[in-house]
Amino acid sequence: MLLLTLVWSVGWFLVQRQIKQQLDIFISNEAAKDRYWSCETAGQKGFPFKLVQDCAAVAVAGPQSMRVELRGASLVWRAIAPNSLVFTALSPARGQFAAMTFNMDWAEGHVEIAPLLGQMAVQASLTQLKTHVVKPLTAPSGRVGDRGSVAQVQIKAGPFENAAANSALPDRLPVVVAAHDIQDDALGIALATSSLANIDFVGAITATRNIDGANLAEKLEFWRHKSGQVEVTKLEFSAGDLRVFAEGAVVLDEEHRIKGKLNLRIAGGDGLMAKLGYAPSSSIVGGLLGGLLHAKGADGQAQGVSLPLRLEDGFVFLGPVRLPLILTPLY
What is the tens place of the pLDDT at every residue in 272-300? 666 556 555 555 555 556 555 655 555 55
What is the tens place of the pLDDT at every residue in 139-154? 444 455 677 888 889 9
What's residue 149's pLDDT? 87
What's residue 116's pLDDT? 47
Phi then psi dihedrals of residue 164, to 5 deg: -60, -30
pLDDT < 50: residue spans in the chain: 116-118, 138-142, 163-169
Report how far residue 270's alpha carbon sits from residue 289's, in angstroms, rounded to the nearest whole number. Answer: 10
Report how far residue 126's alpha carbon sits from residue 111's, in angstroms, rounded to the nearest whole number. Answer: 9
Report how far residue 204's alpha carbon sits from residue 233's, in angstroms, rounded to the nearest whole number. Answer: 8
Q: Is 64 helix (H, G, I), strand (E, B) or coil?
A: coil
Report how far residue 289's alpha carbon sits from residue 185's, in angstroms, rounded to the nearest whole number. Answer: 27
Report how far residue 33's alpha carbon sits from residue 211's, in angstroms, rounded to the nearest whole number. Answer: 13
